[in-house]
Structure 1
């Protein structure tokens, strides 16, 4: 089973530089702010917000910052059988790609860090599941160019609609009207492109906005639930816990600790 050895989120201020060395573990790195250059084997790789980089163990890596930046990273090992789970893991070469559903990817990475730091009885299983999902998203993003352009365009139209109307009551019928297709067809195309259903994507948009309100404004949980399009606070609480791994009240308490 995939096993994490470290998982972190760091802000880097001023000049950052790392000399070239051979990686002991597999590394998944996500840039969430700023720009850096990574040297991967004999290549120079530019990474900026929204870019991810997977490097298998044994890769020669180094790097330098172009500006202040923030990045998330995890170092992990695989059993030999794990390599069969995804082409990305079996090919044994680095992969850099941009993530179209970056907010969702970032939320899942933060949940990965949460479970890694908790060290609970099922943390290893949770970390395995989440990291495998993240690697699957990367594998999919890398291969997405093979999808028909019409499917990609429809998925982008739906994403824009959900981002613009997340405060409203959005149904699959609304997406059907938007795309001129049946609700099932619109949902199927969206999931085939993004890896998540429209409702799952909408939940993550709403929870991301809710967390921003928790940081930036003095609002009650009930007010935040209403502001982000949930029909009642109990439903908001259930979705928030499913997406983040903790309750809204626990998140708000951790914000102020």
Structure 2
């Protein structure tokens, strides 16, 4: 997938409420569909694999995959959903939402199938999952739906950017989820990372973290590095240097004052840390910027 060329096209984005019984017989779609089950229960089959859906579940349907959807029980189904192309294409405006099986499609419709770019490493979204951060997922989903349905001025920009935010959120959850077990490590490590994030302007030590979160140094380093590819202290140094780079490049703040604002004891300590990470002094970085 060429990330620099991604420009999502939203075909349908709506909060759908459906009375039961309700069934979508076997079909294949030309694009992607993201379906969030907020109320009711569903039985969904994708390429022969059956999933039981309950409130809070997400289903992700991909181009040219056989699937059926059937309500279970008598409760009303609420299923906000989005149909989209990863990239805007010349025929995106012409392509509709499919309710057909492959053998019901015309030759022209057979040419509408999009390439599936979200089933291969490192960009994989499964057919059925529960968001790890449901509140954030729901907010991002309804941001796109609201923009698409109300169509305020320049909504086209917002739905594209909103869809990218939503995809990044889902892919990041899958990425982190693949590195956690069932013991709540994701939430635990996210809490530690947030603690470090809000202390970007002051020193942080391993002793401080181990005392705060009641974990051994060895175990903390092992878990954190497995999740984020760096130790807690390396992560803290990384975000401090990123903040420093922005302050040096995009402001006229004196370097000594930047060092002070980021919690370094003096400009010499700051300069050594900056040069260790970036290979040049803060003043050299500013002059080149």
Q: TM-score, normalised by structure 1?
A: 0.55
Indicate the residue corresponding to 2:173 in structure 1. 141
Please state if 1:27 is matched with 2:33: yes
RMSD across aligned positions (CA): 4.2
Indicate the residue corresponding to 1:51 in structure 2. 57
Shift of 1:98: 0.9
The question of whether the paired residues in 1 share the 8 Å contact of 2:63 and 2:115 is answered with no
Indicate the residue corresponding to 2:143 in structure 1. 111
The question of whether the paired residues in 1 share the 8 Å contact of 2:125 and 2:174 is answered with no
Q: How many residues align?
A: 177
Specify every segment of 5 or more residues in structure 1 that has no aligned partner in the other structure, as ranges. Answer: 159-170, 194-257
User: Structure 2 CA distance, aligned partners of 1:48 and 1:10?
Assistant: 16
Indicate the residue corresponding to 1:224 in structure 2. none
Indicate the residue corresponding to 2:80 in structure 1. 72
Helix, strand or coil for the counterpart of 1:32?
Answer: coil
Superposition pairs of residues 116-135 of structure 1, within 5 angstroms? 116-135=148-167
Larger fraction in strand:
1
User: Structure 2 CA distance, aligned partners of 1:139 and 1:92?
Assistant: 7
Superposition pairs of residues 112-191 of structure 1, within 5 angstroms? 112-148=144-180, 151-155=185-189, 179=213
Larger fraction in helix:
1
Superposition pairs of residues 216-227 of structure 1, within 5 angstroms? none
Shift of 1:36: 0.4
Please state if 1:60 is matched with 2:66: yes
Q: Residue 108 and residue 178 in structure 1: after superposition, are their counterparts in 2 closer, same or farther (change >3 A)? A: farther
Specify every segment of 5 or more residues in structure 2 that has no aligned partner in the other structure, as ranges. Answer: 1-6, 90-113, 200-208, 229-289
Helix, strand or coil for the counterpart of 1:33?
Answer: coil
Q: Residue 157 and residue 78 in structure 1: after superposition, are their counterparts in 2 closer, same or farther (change >3 A)? A: closer
Q: TM-score, normalised by structure 2?
A: 0.49
Cα deviations across residues 19-38 of structure 1 (Å, max 9, x unaligned)? Answer: 11111321111111221011
Q: Residue 77 and residue 37 in structure 1: after superposition, are their counterparts in 2 closer, same or farther (change >3 A)? A: same
Superposition pairs of residues 192-231 of structure 1, within 5 angstroms? none
